[in-house]
């Protein structure tokens, strides 16, 4: 009996010891799960939603340079020649109309939007990319440039004049959904979409109205994955030119650019993959003005807007 009493006492001590060890571990796991929810999962909660049904097929987003807190978005093919000024949480502030190309009386496949420098030093311009070509059979694609205006964040309706440039690929037509502006080298960047490897092409920001220009091929990029999920659907270069983003339907790729390094050369280095909550049809990404974060949104009525911090 004495031996049984000793064994029973040992078992009780063992349970108490296990409890002392297990309880802190459980508490730490709970704290960790709570912290993950607060600090990580919350980054994937929508910052807001596009709050107007007119924005039903959003395909690009870019931060204003002269209107604090304003971002520009636009619809994909099928809409008229216009874009929208919104707040970061999705409130519609202005609808800006422009005249499309004289050869087809409007935009055909408006796929991306960017903001950057232009012909007049010290002024900011919005670049509107009618660059989609699903069948890869267009003789040229068109980018429209409009000088950014202060009233675009205030007036509900506005009109603007644009200066178009027609861009040709040196190696034949391709589909594309990515337009970026490099403020350092003063170049337009076009990154193609569909093929196993995508191409990077550039054209100078200085051009004559309605010029037709053959772009310069710079490099090819290969991304692992399954088509169509790995197709490149959007991109942006930060306003200081130091950071670059490209996104596919399922991933966001990020490069930190070295001093005096061309953007296309920086993109040939292995990218870092940044956080991204896969959206229904995510085709829009844009840096915040300070480059410390980025927003994404997607096609669909009342589509969510997500914000992420840049590491």
DSSP-assigned states of every residue in 140-208: -EEEEEEE--GGGGT-SEEEE--EEEEEE-TT----EEEEEEETTTTEEEEEE-SSSEEEEEEEES---
pLDDT at 67: 97
**3-state SS, residue 291:** coil
pLDDT at 16: 53
pLDDT at 100: 80
pLDDT at 102: 65
Alpha helices, H only, 211-262 = none
CA distance 154 to 193: 35
pLDDT at 195: 87
Residue-by-residue pLDDT tens, the chain, 311 positions: 545 454 455 455 555 554 454 444 434 434 443 344 344 444 456 789 999 999 999 999 999 999 999 999 999 987 889 999 999 999 999 999 998 876 666 788 999 999 999 999 999 999 999 999 999 999 999 999 999 999 998 889 999 999 999 999 999 999 999 999 999 999 999 999 998 999 999 999 999 999 999 999 999 999 999 999 999 999 999 999 999 999 999 999 999 999 999 999 999 999 999 999 999 899 999 999 999 999 999 999 999 999 999 98
How far apart, in Å, are the Cα atoms of 56 and each of 74, 81, 93, 102, 197?
9, 15, 16, 26, 30
The C-alpha angle 163, 167, 168, rounded to 5 degrees, equals 160
How far apart, in Å, are the Cα atoms of 74 and each of 5, 62, 111, 165, 298?
79, 10, 8, 19, 11
Residue 112 neighbours by CB under 8 Å, 6+ apart:
59, 60, 129, 131, 177, 178, 179, 234, 235, 284
Both tokens assigned to 289:
């003005």
CA distance 158 to 151: 8
What size, in residues, is the chain? 311
Give the rounded distance of the alpha carbon of 178 from its chain centre.
9
pLDDT at 28: 42
DSSP-assigned states of every residue in 56-106: -BEEEEEE-SSSTTEEEEEE-TTS-SEEEEEETT--EEEEEEE---TTTTS
pTM, rounded to two decimals:
0.85
Both tokens assigned to 49:
């939603």
pLDDT at 84: 98
């Amino acid at each position: 009996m004495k031996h049984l009493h000793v064994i029973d006492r040992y078992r009780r001590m063992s349970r108490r010891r296990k409890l002392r060890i297990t309880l802190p571990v459980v508490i730490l796991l709970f704290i960790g799960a709570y912290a993950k929810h607060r600090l990580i999962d919350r980054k994937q909660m929508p910052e807001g939603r596009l709050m107007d049904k007119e924005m039903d097929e959003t395909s690009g987003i870019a931060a204003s340079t002269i209107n604090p807190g304003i971002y520009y978005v636009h619809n994909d093919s099928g809409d008229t020649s216009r874009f929208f000024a919104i707040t970061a949480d999705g409130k519609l502030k202005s609808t800006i109309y422009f005249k499309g190309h004289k050869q087809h009386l409007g935009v055909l496949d408006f796929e991306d939007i960017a903001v950057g420098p232009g012909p007049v030093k010290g002024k900011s311009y919005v670049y509107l990319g009618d660059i989609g070509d699903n069948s890869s059979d267009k003789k040229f694609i068109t980018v429209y440039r409009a000088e950014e205006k202060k009233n675009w964040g205030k007036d509900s309706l506005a009109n603007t004049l644009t200066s178009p440039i027609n861009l040709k690929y040196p190696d034949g037509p391709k589909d594309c959904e990515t337009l970026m502006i490099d403020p350092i080298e003063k170049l337009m960047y076009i990154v193609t979409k569909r093929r196993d490897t995508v191409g990077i092409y550039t054209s100078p920001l200085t051009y004559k109205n309605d010029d037709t220009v053959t772009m310069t091929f710079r490099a090819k990029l290969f991304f692992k994955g399954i088509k169509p999920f790995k197709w490149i659907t959007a991109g942006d270069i930060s306003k200081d030119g130091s950071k670059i983003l490209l996104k596919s339907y399922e991933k966001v790729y990020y490069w930190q650019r070295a001093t005096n390094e061309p953007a296309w050369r920086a993109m040939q280095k292995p990218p870092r993959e940044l956080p991204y909550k896969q959206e229904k049809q995510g085709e829009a990404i844009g840096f915040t003005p300070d480059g410390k974060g980025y927003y994404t949104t997607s096609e669909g009525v009342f589509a969510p807007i997500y914000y992420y911090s840049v590491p």
